[in-house]
Homo-oligomer: A and B are copies of this chain.
Amino acid sequence: MLKQVIKLVIAGMVITLSVAVAYAAQTTAPFPNLAPKELVVKRGFSKDATNCIECHAKKTPGIVDDWKSGKMAHATVSCYDCHVVEKTSPMASQCEGLKGTKIFISPMVSSKTCSRCHPQEVDQFLKSGHAKLAGNPVIDNKKFIKLMYYYEGAQFIGVKDDAPQSTASRSAGCQMCHGTQVELGPDNKPIKNTWPGGVGTRYPDGSIGTCTVCHTRHKFSIEEARKPEACASCHLGPDHPDIEIYQESKHGQRYAAHGEDWRWDSAPDAWQPGDYEAPTCAVCHMSGIGELSTTHNINERLKWDLMHQKSVIRSGERGDGEKGDELMRQVCVNCHGTTHTNVQRKTLDDAVDLYNTYWDGATKMQKELAEKNLLLIDDPWNDGFQELMYYLWHHCGRRARQGAAMNGPDYAHWHGFFQVFQVYKDMQKIYEYRIKTGKIEDLSHVMSTGPL
């Protein structure tokens, strides 16, 4: 495949070398390692497992290359072990190589399969918010779906309410992180772009969750899951810029500056300060550190719910916030004195209070406008007040709170509170105008186009 002609110009003199010819003379394949992979694996794998490996080493060499450097391959866990399903499974299908055999597989592997070897991790995960992400908003929240998808590809481009809508934004956007319900065609292959999807994906066999969102297939690397980039594919952007906040923080600064020299492969619970000089997302929210054990329930160490409209201390299915606060402090004290930790936690509490005050004020205005028929209840995206209220919560209000939680001052201030108060005063002016005039302003919706 060496198609390049090599011509050297040395000090003005052109030397044309017959390098390619010389190569061809030495060996039939100039780069032997580029010949179609013929990986032969005889390390006690079953014949069926070996077939998968050897065939896919040719068909999809990248997957097999990835797998062979991972812990699974070293532990003799093969393609077969995770992908094989009962013939009766709703996800059962056969690739070309399996046609005519009794073996059925699925390209889809859910947390249920992982739990066969990692039951505790999957148990913890299923209790976490991560496992519930497909439900809200992608599947269950009808009001939200109407709000979001009605407009996307329906009203605004003249499609009737009952006409089929494009799901393009859903497929390319929301469900990539949230997950969705996988739908299958007659051949048990996924349809409507419902697979692959995010961490909360619901599978046709009733199982929930995709572990490979963080432990990327087919290497399944613990090192990767410990790095902040593992979280960054979803925790970014205008509505929860967690990776941006981390990167701005002193923690992230040290990761960027020194992370390449840290020790990433310590066994779970044995990964401790000294292996790293600053925490990654995993360290604070998941890893064993000091007295704490590793958890895959990412709600466990959280005090506040910083995602929803009004922030309250977590309780019920969202976790135990008081306990969460205590656990998070147990993380902090590994590197910070009590004074420092107290200040940091107090700053977060104060930020939540301030945001909530704004949110309460907005809610009060909203109620009064609703009572006086001064809201476009059925058409909120065309109502400047309601649009701004959405941004107050979902965009700048989250950034203010999460920026304060993780020490990203730009996100707490410029992308956060600075905008919270800009948005709030604009809501206040619209409110005053409506109350005073008794009508909804012309073109108000245009005034809050938001980010372009």
Contact = CB atoms under 8 A, between A and B. Distances in A.
Interface centre among A4, A49, A234 (most CB of B within 10 A): A4
A40 interface: no
Nearest to A348: B172
Contact of A419 (B15, B81, B451): B451
Contacts of A340: 107, 196
A209 interface: no
Given A257-B223, A410-B236, A10 B77 contact: yes
A381 B424 CA distance: 12
Given A4-B268, A11-B78, A19-B11, A450 B447 contact: no
Contacts of A252: 229
B233 A421 contact: no
Interface stretch (A60-68, A200-208, A313-321): A60-68
Contact of A173 (B174, B333, B417): B417
A350 interface: yes
Contact of A270 (B33, B236, B269, B403): B33
A317 to B, nearest CB: 24
A10 B343 contact: no
Given A337-B60, A430-B446, A353 B168 contact: yes
Interface stretch (A149-157, A300-308, A367-375): A149-157
B337 A107 contact: yes
Interface in A203-259: 216, 219, 221, 223-224, 227, 229-230, 232-234, 236-239, 247-250, 252-254, 256-258
Contact of A233 (B60, B250, B277, B448): B250
Contacts of A388: 449
Interface stretch (A115-123, A126-134, A322-330): A115-123
Contacts of A171: 347, 350-351, 404
Given A60-B333, A62-B334, A351 B172 contact: yes
A273 interface: yes
A351 B174 CA distance: 13
A141 interface: no
A90 interface: no
A394 to B, nearest CB: 10
A396 interface: yes
A443 B448 CA distance: 12
Given A219-B277, A442-B433, A77 B9 contact: yes
Interface string A418-429: 110111111011
Interface in A150-185: 151-153, 156-158, 166-169, 171-174, 176-177
A112 interface: no
Interface string A331-350: 00111110110010011101
A17 interface: yes
Contact of A193 (B33, B176, B189, B346): B346
A10 to B, nearest CB: 4
B450 A419 contact: yes
A424 B78 CA distance: 50
A44 interface: yes
B169 A343 contact: no
A31 B270 contact: yes
Given A61-B290, A193-B346, 9 more contacts: A1-B288, A168-B351, A169-B351, A173-B410, A174-B413, A221-B257, A221-B258, A233-B249, A419-B452
16 contacts: A3-B269, A8-B77, A34-B270, A62-B336, A152-B417, A168-B417, A190-B343, A216-B254, A230-B253, A232-B247, A232-B248, A236-B248, A260-B260, A395-B452, A451-B451, A451-B452
